[in-house]
Amino acid sequence: MLFVPEIDKDLEYPENYFEIQDEDIEGFKVAKAAAKLKAGGKGKSKAKEEDNKEDQEDEDAEEAAKTARSEDLMEKRCIARKNAKTQNTDTDGEFA
């Protein structure tokens, strides 16, 4: 015997408990933008300058780290010897 599934929307979709409309969201955005304008732009510019300085410092540190890593790898690289002989093992024959 087949049955028809029923969905309890209150249980399955708890996010629908808060009845928020698009108009509420747009109103909040407008109020937030008005609050930013009311706060003034002087604090923003200083904060942006500090953020830009921090970003630049972070980028410089990343570049320095990359160059340091590449230099370390170059130093660790082995120099090929003139009379070096290869060592053959059983597994070399399997993959050849």
Q: Is the pTM of this model over 0.75?
A: no
Model pLDDT for residues 35-84, shown as the tens digit of each residue: 988 876 555 566 677 777 888 888 887 777 776 666 666 566 666 677 87
> 3-state secondary structure string, the chain?
CCCCCCCCHHHHCHHHHCCCCHHHHHHHHHHHHHHHHHHCCHHHHHHHHHHHHHHHHHHHHHHHHHHHHHHHHHHHCCCCCCCCCCCCCHHHHHHC
